[in-house]
């Protein structure tokens, strides 16, 4: 994905490592049947646009990609995991307000 266009990348077990390898990447671990995941989705779309060129926002469907969810011990969804240059640096669990996610982004961009 081009990190400058403000879109959300769909990642899989197979593409995950390559997608989080560079820069600050937020990965939304979600599922289609998850109500709170539907609440978080538009917030992440907004953030992808607002931080275009600074961060990458990705989504991983835990039903289709269980290996990555297990690797990072994701037990509740939505879980937003923050990766900086491939390293897991932070996590937000649940449907949280936009400003809470922004605070985490700003802390890791600095």
What are the DSSP calls for the chain, one per residue? --TTS--EEEE-TTTHHHHTSSSEEEEEEE-TT-HHHHHHHHHHHHHHHHTBTTEEEEEEETTT-HHHHHHTT--SSSEEEEEETTEEEEEEESS--HHHHHHHHHHHH-
Q: 69-99, pLDDT tens digit by residue?
A: 999 999 999 999 999 999 999 999 999 999 9
Any idea which residues carry the catalytic annotation?
Answer: 34, 37
Tell me what the pLDDT averaged over the chain comes to.
Answer: 94
The reported pTM is 0.93
pLDDT at 67 over 60: yes
Q: What is the pLDDT of residue 43?
A: 97
List the CATH code of the domain at 8-109: 3.40.30.10
| Domain range list for the chain | 8-109
């Amino acid at each position: 994905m081009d990190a400058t266009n403000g879109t959300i990348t769909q990642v899989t077990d197979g593409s995950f490592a390559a997608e989080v390898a560079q820069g600050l990447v937020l990965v939304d671990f979600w599922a289609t049947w998850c109500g709170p995941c539907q609440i978080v989705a538009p917030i992440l779309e907004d953030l992808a646009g607002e931080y275009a060129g600074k961060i990458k926002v990705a989504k991983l469907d835990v039903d289709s990609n269980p290996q990555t969810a297990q690797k990072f011990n994701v037990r509740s969804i939505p879980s937003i995991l923050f990766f900086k240059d491939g390293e897991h640096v932070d996590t937000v669990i649940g449907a949280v307000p936009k400003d809470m996610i922004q605070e985490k982004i700003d802390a890791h961009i600095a």
